[in-house]
Amino acid sequence: MGSVTIELTDLDELKAAIIKEATPQIIKDLSVYAKTTLLDAYNRSTYSHNKSQNLADSYVWAVYNDNVLVKKGYLYPSPKAKTTMIETGTKRRVYGRKEADEFLATYNPQTNGFVVVFAARMYYGAYLEKGTRRNKQYVVLSSIWNEVSHDEDISLAAMAIDTHLY
């Protein structure tokens, strides 16, 4: 009977090669997941006064790999808003899609590997989520956190994928 010797010195290189080979499929799968999850969050939103469509246009998802933006998407393929909103306090005119794009242009993941980002970037989205003395609290984007953290089909922790809401 013979013997087999296995040398385990090249495991890091093997792991890197496997991840490199799988990266395009991982990006594709994360993109599909992000797009579906963002649409589900919008459909579960309890805020229904989005007459200008700027809030809807500010919904965005992005996939980063090693701090590089590799894929992004929006709620709708093209912007729906026809008018700007005037930001309270600054009098700055804002479009939802432009706010989403500016966020992605300046966002810098703090983690290497894969990062999935979800955002609703109109300035009043945070006010709606928190509520005010005069206005009740609404679900704008926070429903995603429950969706992502309890999804049995994807183990983000096991895959070393970070997910962030903004």
Residue 2 belongs to some domain of the structure: no
Convert the pLDDT of each residue in 70-116 to its tens digit: 999 999 899 888 877 776 777 777 788 888 899 899 988 888 888 88
Residue 46: the pLDDT is 74
Residue 148 belongs to some domain of the structure: yes
Convert the pLDDT of each residue in 26-51 to its tens digit: 999 999 999 998 898 888 877 766 67
Residue 104 belongs to some domain of the structure: yes
Residue 143: the pLDDT is 60
Residue 90: the pLDDT is 74
Residue 103 belongs to some domain of the structure: yes
Residue 1 belongs to some domain of the structure: no
Q: Which residue type, as a one-letter code, is found at position 129?
A: E
DSSP string, 118-134: EEE-STTHHHHHH--SS
- The total domain count for the chain is 1
Cα(113)–Cα(162) distance, integer angstroms: 8
Residue 3 belongs to some domain of the structure: no
Convert the pLDDT of each residue in 111-143 to its tens digit: 888 888 888 877 666 766 777 667 777 666 666
As a whole number of angstroms, the longest Cα–Cα distance in the chain is 83
* Element of type H or E holding 97: helix 96-106
Which residues in 120-138 are b (16+ Cβ under 10 Å) and which e?
Answer: bbbbbbeebbeeeeeeeeb
Beta strands 114-120; 161-165: pairing state: parallel
Alpha carbon 165 to chain centroid, angstroms? 6
Range of the domain at 19: 11-165
Predicted TM-score (pTM) of the model is: 0.74
Residue 120 belongs to some domain of the structure: yes
Residue 93 belongs to some domain of the structure: yes
DSSP state of 146: H
